[in-house]
Structure 1
Amino acid sequence: MMRRYAYSYSEGDARLSTPVDSRQGGIMSRHLGLGVKSLLIPLLSFLVALVPVLWIGSHALQDVERHFGQRFAEQYSQLHTQRMLTPLSTELALARRFGDLTVTREWLSDIDNEERKARFFAESEGFRQQFDGDDYFVVHHDSRQFYFNDGKMSPSRAPRNQLSRSDSEDSWYFRMMDSGAPTRVQVAYSPALDITRVWINVRVDGENGPLGMVGGGLNFNRLLASSFDDQPLGVASFLLGREGRVLAMAEDGELQATDLSQVDEGGGVLDAAVEDPEALAEMLASARESGGEVETRTLEWSGEERVVAVSYMPELDWWLVSAVDPYAATLLEKRWLWPLMFALVASLGVVLLVVVIALRRLIVNPMRRLSQSAQALAQGRYDTRLDSDRGDEIGDLSRDFQRMADQVQAHTEELEERIRQRTMDLTLANRQMSEAKRQIDDSLDCARVLQQAILPSRDMQRCAGLRHGVLWSPKDTVGGDIFVFRDFGHDRGYLLGVIDCAGHGVPGALMTMLARAAFDNSVNQVGPENPAGILEEMDRRIRRTLEADSEAHGVTPHMDAGLVWVGADQQQLTFSGAKLDLYATDGQRLEVLAGGRRALAFKRRGEFTNQTLALVPGWSCTLCSDGFLDQAGGEHGFGFGRRRFEAMLLEHAELDPRAQVAAFLDALACFQGEAHQRDDITLLCFQPAVEDEQDGTASATSNIHHGHDEEVPWTS
């Protein structure tokens, strides 16, 4: 705290008089003295140093865990691959011995010889008991007879089935025989036997060609259980068959095998779990080409980082994919880290103690003595001498009392310089903000052009037999309203409508892109003659698109829509709407075809129905978004309203559609007055040319308006 003193001079001597500050007791009061600060500052320094040390140590530990995770994933994949191949190798060797038996070849060479048949079945019983699945099969090539025995069924020497090339369930046999492969291992579900096995198929050849096939099956579930009985937490393993199909998965100590009797070609794929399916496909291909080497890589797996190891089993044409969470799996014992952490904290504590003692001896105690001397001077004891003959900073402090004013001036000039620098920085920031605003405006202009590109203005102009007018006025530079049109030729008809997406501005414009894509795909899927079907398909596609993304739950996907199909005969139109109505009038009568009560993609699904209306010469049809009806104005600031809108339609029904739109715009501007536009506005007025009016010359021109930067809305 800086004190104010009064100075008196006599005979050239300057003497310090009594201080003018009357708060004498405040000199002795302190909130935090140097003694406390000498402890707090080293302690704070200790904590500041401890934070980066802990941060670096934690990241180093994560790197170590990631390294151990890669090694663990590689060794885990190798171990379980061998555990799976060992019983398969044993079973394959046993099946080959079975096929190489003399009795097997003799009987298959002469299948009607009862003596050979008896010897074969007597010998095969011993092999059946040695096979893991407690079963075996034999196929005679010429007769296509299939023999099968296991420990459950009654033993039989008669064929269980006869294979046929025309039967898709028997294609496994003919594919192997045609390929000429001596052995093949495959996992499959046999509908005829109602069992799932890992089948070991061994081809048996004679001197004059193939004799048939023998083999046995391993219990698929038991093979998986014995291979993954030690599945640890934090590790997910997937067994993939041909084409990357999932045959089984083990995760969090639970094993799930694919029900091959219910899934065509066996299991799903891992694309849903892997953020980068292409990277996983590269690993699968590389593992197959490497001939047994384990491929490891860090991938995004179900939204989290995982160490993925892939090993290939050429005997089966299978892959084993293991995804290891290096932070969940117990890969590194952390108990040995605690002594190291304790030693680090103890060392820093000793350093803290040494710093505190040094600060007290070198700074705190001399400053306390200096403070006592300054208090003595303030109390009038002028014989007190300041400790100014020290050769350190404290001595300099005693001598610098007289130069305090110069220091204050220097600090003032420094502050002024800082202010000038801050002013320059603010000026530069302002220019940068202006440039950023310009870039944003340019981006919005580009978005406006892109949104105009999806408006079907030119297609409507080129459609012979259609007179139309369009009012399209976004609230901002871009908006959430669009109109759609598809011409399917003079021999079929055309489809047109209005779509009002929730929101306006950039979010609304993006929703219009989604709406246009859903409309085009739905028309291609359903056909133009069924507007209600198109709305239902759009509703399904929009829900599927937004509900599939977990980040899209905060998006409001509601869309009001009205679609009209006019056939080539021009005798009637078909309408269906979602919270949008179709108005038809000749100036005397007004027909209103009401749309469904719920919007597209609403929380509760709506029902959409087709309504037909006969086309009469001189009648005008109008589709309008709710922005027109809800526009505030008038004396009390209420919305334009449905009654005023219907009266306006009746009043101007005798005009052509383009003139009607101009009249509607004048009526809206008069009602709106000085009020701001509340929402995007789209109005589509059209008169289908019935047979006695078609002359092939009906057309319209199009102009684009944006309510954000022009005074007159866009009409066509």
Structure 2
Amino acid sequence: MSLRWKSALALAALFAVLLVLALFAGNLAVHSIRQHYGAAFARDHALLQKQTLVTQLSRELALSQRLAGLEATRDWLRDEQDSAKRRAFFREAENFREAFADHSFSVIADRSLNYYFSDDKQAANAAEPRYRLKPNDAEDGWYFATRQNVRDYALNVNVDGKVRVTKVWFNVMIRDGDEVLGMAGTGLDLSRFLRDLVASHQRGVSNIIVNGQGVIQAHPDARLIQYASVSSLNSAKTVYRLIRTEEQPGLAGALAALKATPEGTQTASVTLQGQPRLLGISYIPQLDWYVISAVDLSTAAVLDERLLATLAAGGLVVLLALGLLVIFGLDRLVLNPLARLHRSVAQLSAGDYHIELRSRRDDELGDLTRAFNHMAGEIRVHTEKLEQRIEERTRDLAQANEQVLQAHRAMQDSIRYASLIQNAILPHGPLSELLGEQHFLLWKPRDVVGGDFFVCRTGPGRCLLGVVDCAGHGVPGAFMTMIAQTAFDVAVSELGLADPAALLERMDQVVRAMLRHETGARHLATSMDAGLCAVDLINNTLTFAGARLSLHWSDGAQVGEVAGERGGIADRKPTPFRNHVMTLRPEVSYYLTTDGFLDQSGGDKGFGFGRRRFAELLRHHAQLPVAEQHEAFQQCLAEYQGERAQRDDITVLGFRFGRQGEADQPASPGDYDR
């Protein structure tokens, strides 16, 4: 007999016995005990919750009615401004506050619509109204609805946003004949109410409280509660919305039957929020509230534990006996041979390929043992060949890796050298010679080299300052700066330093001419942003022209921006540029910046730095010495950027001319022209 046949017979016998036991236990427990005891459990639990709720609420309601019925209460509400009556009432009310479970009370004077509320935190100021009710305020609608629709008292679950509490409110009307004097009562903290009177400590049971219309007053999920239900006559938050449509008439009938016979209980089987539940329902006529206990029969403890213990013990004995038989058979027939095979597999996985098992069996395990011996031999041969190939490939890989490292080092050396060259051709010297400590420069390429650069040219009685932002980053951006620098040199050599707009237009023409015959240039971003300032030191004027860049200025009190044109250099269509002339003021600091600073992401939400934040930065630091402005710009940018990566090349050039009262003045421009 084969191993498969032996195993099939053993497992079939085991499953047959387990099936008989399962059918017997399921038929006895599920169909008899669970349904019978589940219905009784649901009814008893609903009655218990009703009694607990009535006991607690009746005490709070009785105290509220006594507070409302005090002669001191009525006397004060008839003459709210009388100080003696006010003291008499609040002296009595303080005693009631200590007696209430929540240590709080509330009073509304109908004539003035003043709302008084006192708890442990506000006892000292109890005589002062917290706010005044307004008929047109939706948050105060509960009072006017209660005043109109309720004769004696009402319970209302509501969020009072003005005193910042959420409670189950006990509202007792105070009348003098037909005249409404006001309302008094207390409240139970909703969280405590749900925890103590609604939350169930029974596994598989949850409690719900609804009013006579089925509107939910209390639920373990506070989101389903209809707050201020007294003023919400057509609320959608009803228990009927939680069950299927076809089950709603049956539940409505059970609630109606309970209202006719309040002492009894009702049960109903429904699908509550998509889950099958058995409902036990009781009724509190004094409050017109229904207490619903939803029982999950699959998890609630409704079965007789002793009967389950007896059944479990009997089944355990039978299973143990069957288990011993199955274990003995499997150990002899299957487990011992498999254990030997497992140990051999472990040795094989550890690298011992000289394994050979012996077996005289003619079943599947015997065939498996012989197949294992053959596999071990094949693995041994293939492993030896594979080790030889791996050794050869490892040598090849090491050589290739060394070549890649050499190429990478050479590339990095080239880029660093290019950075030195780019930094060397920038006019740091002329800029320092021209302005000295009356300028600062924040130049931060995103990569080792970048696409931003700045210019400084001087001539007799005048100078030219500017920044240029070329498309691209890293090496491509750096090459674009060479093209832009060449175009700038050509424009200055032809046109001089006085007309920034003409210089930008000439730079545009030169760049277009240089890229005209490059077939790949039409598919690449080759445009440039630029801002140029021509300073006439004799006539004390500053002329600005910009291609998508602006000139910013601030005197510490005001902040201004002179916007450049919307088109850039080497855009698809040429842009005419305009000069903006202004008087050069010694108390004003001027700033040229590329969009890298303004677009840098940071802050809590990762937004760009932005022009408004940049303007505030200028306003707060424009009057500082320029060297300190440099540190302030760097610190502000670093704090805003945080751990985020730099998005673009950043260049900011800040400068002043002829500021009075400072020792260091800009050097007189000479004939140095770079």
- TM-score for the superposition, normalised by structure 2: 0.42
- TM-score for the superposition, normalised by structure 1: 0.39
